[in-house]
Amino acid sequence: MGIGKKITDNGLTEKAEEKSVESKDSKKEIVFFPEEPKYSLEDIIVPASVEERIRDVVEYNTIRQIVFEEWGLNKTHRYSKGMGINLYGPPGTGKTMAAHAIARSLGRKIISVNYADIESKYVGETPKNIRSAFKAAKESNSILFFDEADAILSRRVTNMTNATDVSVNQTRSVMLMLMNEYQDFIIFATNFLENFDPAFVRRISFHVKFDLPDTDCRKKLWKLYIPEKMPTNLDFDEIAEKFAGVSGSDIYNAVLNAALKAARKKMTSVDKELFFTATQEILDSKAANEKSAVTVEKRPVSEDYVREQMSLQKEDV
């Protein structure tokens, strides 16, 4: 995911280094490395309207040169050169692929950041990790990409009941400040745009909605993920029409599951019924998942405890 451990020059082995770091309150420094984008625009199969919007984003790089340099807006809008791009929609619809494709189209490397990788249980460490990501992107001239961005850009807590809420608000404030100061491309991807704090939404210039593939896209995806050498009697038009509501990743998994079942049963070809069954099972599991709900209980803590945590955070920033 573009994140790795820092390599030291002090001759310590990896284990020795880990023990050394752990002795310092077990706080490990995260180092972000740029990588070559894995996909291009030609690799993305999305509805035409989505593809057109993505190309608008890519073209902005040329347009902004005209607007800011030739038309002089770098004097009147000097702090508006940054470009926030938010890719949102159901999971498995190609948002991460699109982020890589945009970076490749711009001729840039990409630094991918997932909140799970930068989150720390230590007060003040998560904001420091976010700052490190921005710094690494700037120094390497890379596109900064936050996947599952709703975890970072979610609404700030207005009624804080514990130290975690305080830490969340601090992280959001640091992120807002960095976005305001950053004068380059930042790409976000999320399945849950409704979780974004309105302050972040206002600071993002382009919002690209990814929809589930239409019939034509589904047909292309089935053709893409079923190798020509795979023996099958599947009709692409039939299965594309038969199963709406599937994403690209659903189709990918359905092909794999059908092939594995055919091989396990020692079949000489993958019958279309196996694809139908695999696809329906995926749709059933998604429907069941949408019906489930998780209730999180909030436990109030004393005001003195919250004030203490806030004081510690100010010292760390």
| Domain co-membership, 89 together with 238 | no
| Domain co-membership, 43 together with 155 | yes
Residue 69 amino acid letter = E
| Domain co-membership, 90 together with 62 | yes
Tokens of 115: 């909140």
| Domain co-membership, 253 together with 132 | no
| Domain co-membership, 183 together with 253 | no
Tokens of 127: 């904001």
| Domain co-membership, 198 together with 255 | no
Question: Could you report the per-residue pLDDT of 86-125, keeping only the tens digit for each?
Answer: 999 999 999 999 999 999 999 999 999 998 888 876 657 8
Question: Could you report the per-residue pLDDT of 216-248, keeping only the tens digit for each?
Answer: 999 999 999 999 999 999 999 999 999 999 999
Residue 224 amino acid letter = L
pLDDT band at 35 (very low <50, low <70, confident <90, very high): very high
Asked if residue 220 belongs to a domain, the reply is: yes
DSSP string, 101-163: HHHHHTT--EEEEEHHHH--SSTTHHHHHHHHHHHHHHHHT-EEEEETTHHHHBPPPSS--SH
Asked if residue 317 belongs to a domain, the reply is: no
Domain coverage including residue 163: 3-211
DSSP 8-class letter at 5: E
* Total number of residues shown for the chain: 317
pLDDT value, residue 30 = 84
* Cα gap 301→312, rounded to integer Å: 17
User: What's the structural domain count of the chain?
Assistant: 2
Q: Give the CATH number for residue 232.
A: 1.10.8.60
What does the pLDDT average to over 41-51?
92
| Domain co-membership, 23 together with 165 | yes
15 vs 205, higher pLDDT: 205
